[in-house]
A and B are shown apart, each in its own frame.
Chain A
Amino acid sequence: AQSVTQLDSQVPVFEEAPVELRCNYSSSVSVYLFWYVQYPNQGLQLLLKYLSGSTLVESINGFEAEFNKSQTSFHLRKPSVHISDTAEYFCAVSDQEDTDKLIFGTGTRLQVFP
């Protein structure tokens, strides 16, 4: 069975500062990895995903995440955050052979201050 750990429940940062949201997973099988973002009173939106290939994946709005197999991590980074990035961020993992079961971390609340 897989599990996902997001150690930071809240991350406060000032606008234009860099940020890293940490995600570690545990699994005995090969996995797919995802970051989802949830703005207040909305559903979840896929931010980026790692399926295979290059371990560095990027989103269209400046976020990137790096898959590190040896450290079983998939940390999310952004070099300069905006007020509009304030949201809840969920890391998630699925077994490559059973993609219907998506296991979520507990979430990290990113709060960007002016």
Chain B
Amino acid sequence: DTEVTQTPKHLVMGMTNKKSLKCEQHMGHRAMYWYKQKAKKPPELMFVYSYEKLSINESVPSRFSPECPNSSLLNLHLHALQPEDSALYLCASSQDRSGTSSYEQYFGPGTRLTVT
């Protein structure tokens, strides 16, 4: 299984709502990532979890709150977002825990988020 799954596919939320994005991988990877991608731009790294611990936070506003409840799951909790936060949110994973994998990141299909 070389798949990263993300739910929901689409999400529309108001600026006062609280919602969560979910990502799952069953490849035994040690690292999981959240990226934000605006239209016609490359993905921008937001957070990295390594062995379920937050290892990189790219100065993301606190209205985005990541969580890694176990080795297969990654959540992104959203609260009080702004319209400029509308984007495609991509999850990725990489590197099996034995350290023998070849470093590429496997991406999910993304969640298209619209903030109204």
Contacts and interface: CB of A to CB of B under 8 A. Distances in A.
Interface stretch (A11-19, A22-30, A38-46, A64-72): A38-46
A107 B42 contact: yes
A105 B42 contact: yes
Contacts of A105: 42
B104 A34 contact: yes
Contacts of A36: 107
B-side interface mostly = strand
B110 A43 contact: yes
Interface size, A (range): 20 to 34
A107 B90 CA distance: 16
The contact size tier of chain B is: 20 to 34
A86 interface: no
A8 to B, nearest CB: 14
A102 B105 contact: yes
Interface class of chain A by DSSP: strand
Contacts of A74: none
Contacts of B43: 44, 90, 104
Given A51-B102, A106-B41, A100 B108 contact: no
Given A43-B90, A44-B43, A102-B45, A32 B103 contact: yes
Contact of A51 (B6, B48, B92, B103): B103
Given A100-B55, A107-B42, A46 B106 contact: yes
Interface of A: 32, 34, 36, 41-46, 49, 51, 90, 94, 99-102, 104-107, 109
